[in-house]
Amino acid sequence: MKPTPSRFALGALLAAAVLATGACTDREAQRQAQAAAEAQAREEAASRLQGEYEAAVAANNWELARVHGAALLAQYPGSEAAAAVEPGLAEVTARAEAAREQRRLATLWNYARVAAGKGEQRTAAIFSKDAVDTGGSSAATVQLVIRDHPEWKRSAYLVLEGGDFDCYGGCKVKVKFNDAAARPMSAWRPKTDEAIAMFIEDYRGLWKRMRQAQRLEIEFPVKAGGTRTAVFEVGGLDGSQMPGWD
């Protein structure tokens, strides 16, 4: 015959079973509590990042908003904050790219203020997007200068590093703004060796149209023969640097 467990042994086994069940229940409860705490912490962190995103949007700081928005979607996908931000992030990204491009365009311009005569000369200058073969020893960028001088007054002119303009006594240049048709403008090359410069007579019209353009192309005759075209990315011009021109 098999020995029959004593009441004491049966009680011990029952107690052990109860303790084991209780331990499993406690671990599951702890796991659930921990998971809930982590989920809450995640939502709170996502909410804080959403707040930073919205503050950047309110301040029109599109580049910072894009960074916060992209981080929110990458770090907390599926969160309520990510769901709230995602629909507008594409527009914010586009605005951020536009802001970055505008900043790049602005850095293309150089401004200078120097004492001249009884006043001050102001200039705004930009180099062509690409080098141009104008008949010098090598291709080089062409410079466009807008100048306001106390004695020589206002002017707009191109400057070459090498070669020369074929515009002594006057000529016509073709000027194109953005994708509009090119228009002729009168120009002239002064008889001076101080700089290889060619002045565009209608500096007012050039400035006015340039202020509304992103791209300016000027085709001009050169002594080497034929014409050359210089392309300028003018969209970043700061009109406040040249008071009275706008």
In a domain, 47, yes or no: yes
Q: Are residues 65 and 138 in the same domain?
A: no
In a domain, 171, yes or no: yes
In a domain, 152, yes or no: yes
Q: Are residues 185 and 154 in the same domain?
A: yes
In a domain, 232, yes or no: yes
Contact by Cβ (8 Å): 125, 144: yes
Domain stops at, among 58, 88, 104: 104
Q: Are residues 150 and 215 in the same domain?
A: yes
Residue 31: the pLDDT is 76
- pLDDT tens digits for the chain (246 residues)? 455 555 555 555 555 555 555 556 778 778 777 767 777 888 899 999 999 999 999 999 999 999 999 999 999 999 999 999 999 999 999 999 999 999 999 999 999 999 998 899 999 999 999 999 999 999 999 999 999 999 999 999 999 999 999 999 999 999 999 999 999 999 999 998 889 999 999 999 999 999 999 999 999 999 999 999 999 999 999 999 999 999
Structure-block tokens of residue 161: 């590093």
Q: Are residues 97 and 132 in the same domain?
A: no
Contact by Cβ (8 Å): 145, 162: no
Residue 5: the pLDDT is 55
Q: Are residues 223 and 117 in the same domain?
A: yes
The CATH number of residue 160's host domain is 2.60.40
Q: Are residues 178 and 228 in the same domain?
A: yes
Domain stops at, among 52, 81, 104: 104
Residue 26: the pLDDT is 78
Residue 241: DSSP 8-state: G
Q: Are residues 235 and 131 in the same domain?
A: yes
pTM of the full structure: 0.79
Burial of 118 (0-12, 13-18, 19+ CB in 10 A): exposed
Q: Give me the domain span that covers residue 79.
A: 7-104
In a domain, 1, yes or no: no
In a domain, 196, yes or no: yes
Contact by Cβ (8 Å): 128, 142: yes
Contact by Cβ (8 Å): 82, 93: no
Q: Are residues 121 and 64 in the same domain?
A: no
- The span from the CA of 184 to the CA of 176, in Å, is 9
Q: Are residues 77 and 126 in the same domain?
A: no
In a domain, 246, yes or no: no
Q: Are residues 199 and 224 in the same domain?
A: yes
Residue 41: the pLDDT is 80
Q: How many domains does the chain have?
A: 2
Domain stops at, among 48, 77, 104: 104
Q: Are residues 125 and 187 in the same domain?
A: yes
Q: Are residues 71 and 172 in the same domain?
A: no
